[in-house]
A and B are shown apart, each in its own frame.
Chain A
Amino acid sequence: MLEIFQYDFMVRAFEAGIAIGIIAPLIGMFLVVRRYSLMADTLAHVSFAGVAIGLLLQINPIFSAIGFSVVSAFGIEYLSNSRRIFGESVLALFLSGSLAVAVIILSLAKGFNANLFSYLFGSISTVSTTDLWVTLALAVIVFLNVVLLYKELFFASFDAELAEASGLPVKMLNIMMVMLAAVAIALSLRIVGVLLIGALMVIPAISAMQYGRSFRFTLILSVIFSLVSVIVGLFASYYFDLASGGAIVLVALFIFLVSLGFARKG
């Protein structure tokens, strides 16, 4: 067996990483085609505020991050639908607002700064057994939602008005989508980090789109690209002592450049 897998924390990092590697692009693809890429970054910052709250209240940050980001996801959808504020401005509002909350909590309690830092860029040594189980369980729920509601999510993303005219509950599907995104992002914070999770959701999707194939094929391809990025990134992170989030996203970027080259040739 490889030396890397003799450490329990690495095994946990890989297991959680693979779960995230599958669900991040599944959700990311739907965000990208809806021109909603910024949603991933916004929810990541919201989760970060959730982590800070968790550390302050001394509860497992993964729970506070999920709770806070799901509630905020509701708020984002509500404000966007109210049409009093532009959708993009709502995202900016939540992105900077939650960062402000996180920073204030940071300065209130100086004790856990180092710990919080690992959430910014991702760290492989920090996935606890509880984190792993929560991640696996919720990842299965997110995955099943996307697979079982694939045709509805596809239709609502392709043309919301047509989908509504066909009797689909488009508003409900949108809220569900954003909540799934909130969960997926909160789960990814440990390994990929606040500042880079948006990249793991978006880059595999746009790489896969370069091949000009069907939506289904593109979605599967984005999952493959994401898994390769996570696995190679985690190896690199271990052997070269790099921040895991950065390593994963650099691999994803490399795949994107190769895909872009392919598209130009083809």
Chain B
Amino acid sequence: MQLEEPYIELDNVSFSYDHNPVLENLSFTVRRGEYLGIIGPNGGGKTTLIKIILGLLHPTRGNVKLFGTDRHDFKEKHRIGYVPQRVTQNDKDFPATVFEVVRTGRIARLGFFERFTKKDTEVVNRAMEISGISRYRDTLIGNLSGGERQRVFIARALASEPDVLILDEPTVGVDIGAQKTFYEFLAQLNSEHHLTIIFISHDVDAVSQETKTVLCLNHNLVCHGLAQDLLNEHILERLYGGHKQRVPHNPNKPNKHEHA
């Protein structure tokens, strides 16, 4: 089998905050078309890892390549769409409409002083349509529910027409019913729109059921591979130190990977 093109490559990456190591010797590759879940305990370095990929933090050691280019030379920021963790952010009072927020996704493609074009508006409208939020176009962002806001930020990321979509704890603060539709939506983006997806979660069951591959992170790489091969008691104990009681994965429930 021929391997797909590598999109994100980490080679021996380490990162420390004030001499406290957060990530140690991390090496892995995310390839085109992957649907990767990143799990691990709080403080295990999940968000730090994402910030390094996004260029918001710089590794203390090691190399990062994005789409084959060294991170220092990487300019095509629009190729990575990022959906940050929303609930803690206090943008509820910000006087901006859904359209205005989604349109910021186009900025990575435009230069300074450049104005939005008709094409930008078309792409923004399509991103809102795919995300099912067209009817909220002129609604203030603060007037939406958690699930709706989540979709606005996904539409924002999609508006940059990315190749990779990175989501940090996307279902926190979203009710159970909306979570289910949300996962279906992500699966559809991966299969129909051929988007590579990286999805961070503390919810081991969601990751094991929804994603194709899994990366377990607790300062270093505990495991990386196909979801169904990896998420056994042994790994979870190494990851969470045996404190986390795992709800058994029900093989009768529909999920995205195949059982051997």
- Chain A residues packing against B (C-beta within 8 Å): 33, 148-149, 151-152, 154-155, 158-159, 161-168, 209, 212-216, 218
Contact = CB atoms under 8 A, between A and B. Distances in A.
Interface string B94-118: 1111011100100110101101100
A209 B54 CA distance: 33
Contacts of B110: 151
Given A33-B95, A165-B80, A166-B104, 11 more contacts: A151-B115, A152-B112, A154-B100, A154-B104, A158-B96, A162-B156, A164-B55, A165-B55, A214-B97, A215-B100, A216-B100
A33 B113 CA distance: 22
A162 B85 CA distance: 11
B257 interface: no
Top 3 nearest A-B pairs by Cβ distance? A166-B108, A167-B77, A165-B54
A155 B103 CA distance: 10
A218 B84 CA distance: 26
Interface size class of chain B, counting residues whose CB lies under 8 Å from the partner chain: 20 to 34
Contact of A166 (B89, B95, B107): B107
A155 B116 CA distance: 13
B95 A213 contact: yes
B137 to A, nearest CB: 10
A209 B95 CA distance: 7
B233 interface: no
B138 interface: yes
Q: B82, B107, B108: which has the most chain A beta carbons within 10 Å?
A: B107
A155 B97 contact: no
B89 A159 contact: yes
Nearest to A205: B95
12 contacts: A33-B94, A151-B116, A154-B96, A159-B91, A161-B84, A163-B104, A164-B56, A165-B55, A215-B94, A215-B95, A215-B100, A216-B100
Contacts of B84: 159, 161-162
Contacts of B82: 162, 165
Contact of A152 (B94, B107, B156): B107
B108 A215 contact: no
Contact of A161 (B56, B100, B108): B56
A168 B102 CA distance: 16
B78 interface: yes
B130 to A, nearest CB: 19
A88 B216 CA distance: 39
Contact of A218 (B54, B95, B143): B95
Nearest to A210: B95
B136 to A, nearest CB: 13
A155 B95 contact: no
B81 to A, nearest CB: 10
Q: A33, A162, A167, A212: which has the most chain B beta carbons within 10 Å?
A: A162
Contacts of A163: 104, 107
A159 B156 CA distance: 12
A149 B101 CA distance: 16
A61 to B, nearest CB: 34
Contacts of B75: 167
A152 B56 CA distance: 17
Given A158-B91, A159-B91, A165-B82, A149 B77 contact: no
A17 to B, nearest CB: 26
A257 B142 CA distance: 22
Contacts of A33: 94-95
Nearest to A148: B113
B54 A149 contact: no
A213 B142 CA distance: 11
Contacts of A155: 104, 107
B213 interface: no
B150 interface: no
Contacts of B160: 166
B172 interface: no
B140 interface: yes
A163 B156 CA distance: 12
B77 A166 contact: yes
A218 B94 CA distance: 11
Contact of B78 (A158, A166, A214): A166
A214 B55 contact: no
Contacts of B100: 154, 214-216
Nearest to B157: A162
Contact of B101 (A158, A167, A168, A212): A158
A263 to B, nearest CB: 12
Nearest to A155: B104
